[in-house]
Amino acid sequence: MSAEAVVREATRPDVAAVVPIWAELMEIHARLDPFFTCCEDAAERFAEYIVGNITKDNWHVLVAEADGQVVGYLQGSIETCPPILATQRYGNVHDMAVTAAYRRRGVGRKLVRQALAWFRSQGVTRFEVSMSIHNRTARAFWQSLGFEPYLQSAFVQHDVLRPSS
């Protein structure tokens, strides 16, 4: 664990190394909130999903390599805003994860910086990311990069909807 991480565009062969990092992320999320518990074939589905994203023009998938192995990834896309807004497009970071052994070593920051540089090169100047309110580590990480909360989502399970008064 001595080499500094290098960030580059992901390729199809990288997917096999990305899936376990994604699974590690999902295990963390499932411990924070059971909603994130994955289905039985989630790894295969995620592999297909990320392979598809690698080939899309409006998506950017990155990997971080250190010591000869993939130690992190980020995938983001350019999204279109509703036509009523002055801002027409924004960059959306869908997910990013760094394997436990390489966290707190600047790998996540490198991934984000390179993703934001790509978004800017595409003429996008607004960047968004969603995270679980239960994931304090993620919230602190993104806020340390200047990301600020601006929306709050809410949910209800169908069977617990309160009747109106």
User: 43: domain range?
Assistant: 6-160
* Residue 165, domain member (yes or no): no
Tens digit of each residue's pLDDT (9 = 90 or more) over 75-120: 999 999 999 999 999 999 999 999 999 999 999 999 999 999 999 9
* Cβ–Cβ < 8 Å for 6, 102: no
The pLDDT mean for the chain works out to 94
* Residue 57, domain member (yes or no): yes
Place of tokens 């994604």: 22
In the chain, where do the E strands start and end? 6-9, 59-66, 69-80, 89-98, 127-129
> Can you give the CATH number for the domain in which 11 is found?
3.40.630.30
* Residue 39, domain member (yes or no): yes
Count of domains for the chain: 1
DSSP 139: H
* Cβ–Cβ < 8 Å for 135, 28: yes
* Residue 1, domain member (yes or no): no
* Cβ–Cβ < 8 Å for 62, 8: yes
Per-residue pLDDT of the chain (165 residues; tens, 9 = 90+): 567 999 999 999 999 999 999 999 999 999 999 999 999 999 999 999 999 999 999 999 999 999 999 999 999 999 999 999 999 999 999 999 999 999 999 999 999 999 999 999 999 999 999 999 999 999 999 999 999 999 988 888 777 666 665
| pTM of the predicted protein model | 0.91
